[in-house]
Amino acid sequence: MIEIIPAIDIIDGKCVRLSQGDYGQKTIYNENPLEVARMFEAAGLKRLHLVDLDGAKAHHIVNHHVLQNIASKTGLIIDFGGGLKSDEDLKIAFESGASMVTGGSIAVKSPETFLRWIEKFGAEKIILGADAKNEMIAVAGWQESTGTDIFSFINSWHSAGIRKIISTDISRDGMLMGSATELYKKILQSVPDVYLIASGGVSSMNDIYELQEAGIPAVITGKAIYEGRITMEEIERFLNMAEGRRQK
């Protein structure tokens, strides 16, 4: 069964969502991210994708207090990203309760740093962020296209030890227009043994079932939950069904 990973994006300590990474298209959904995280945990979800959007803009970790609060008051396994640029940023993230961190722009702009993280902290704790538009990697809050195709980018880091990847189709992020299933299938054909986490565009449980049918290991969803397109009851039913299958 596909793993569902809910997302919480943070600006000014609040739970928000952007559309296509545009800070000008911001919607505040909850003033208390811990309340949202507890709702996810109560539904039976085990993971959380927590993004420090202030950190992404500042180029260093900012909302580690939110991470620490959620990590200390829930049992969720948290992967944390947004503006992580230095060993000190990672140290703060892990000390604040992150189980894993995600790096995207850093893997493009400072590959030697990203490689050092893999060697220092272990590949199991480092997730590669592979965000693309028209199958080309984009960085710096998705404002810059690199001219590198997503398949060669993932392959090169897979060779360096990376096994977990979050891939976002920028054109779909926050737009509720469906997942880029065909792109994800092509990624798995290119690198079959990665743990690929699809992100962006999920509009309903049907999108999640479609990704599952395509063999995608995991999916991140945020806006669909906040907008009521996916309910906690639907997620609970999905998880209960998955548990029932495992017990057979």
Q: What confidence tens digit (pLDDT) does each residue in 171-200 have? A: 766 566 789 999 999 999 999 999 999 998
Check residue 178 and give its pLDDT. 87
Q: What is the arithmetic mean of pLDDT over 8-27?
A: 82
Check residue 242 and give its pLDDT. 82
> Is the per-residue pLDDT at 4 higher than 80?
yes
Check residue 83 and give its pLDDT. 87
Instruction: Quote the mean pLDDT of the chain.
Output: 91
Q: How far apart are CA 176 and CA 189, in angstroms?
A: 26
Active site residue 131: yes
Please state whether 161 falls in left (phi above 0), alpha (psi between -120 and 50) or beta: left
Check residue 218 and give its pLDDT. 98
161 band by pLDDT with thresholds 50, 70 and 90: very high
Kindly name the residue from 131, 169, 173, 207 that is annotated as catalytic.
Answer: 131
| Torsion sign over Cα 41, 46, 49, 50 | positive
Cβ count within 10 A of residue 202: 29
Active site residue 9: yes
Q: Which of 24, 3, 2, 1 minimizes the C-alpha distance to 11?
A: 24
Q: How many domains does the chain have?
A: 1
Between 207 and 177, where is the model more confident?
Answer: 207
20 band by pLDDT with thresholds 50, 70 and 90: low
> Is the per-residue pLDDT at 51 higher than 80?
yes
Instruction: CATH number of the domain at 162, please.
Output: 3.20.20.70
Expressed as residue numbers, the domain containing 106 is: 3-247
CA dihedral 167, 137, 169, 97 (to 10 degrees): 40
> Is the per-residue pLDDT at 143 higher than 60?
no
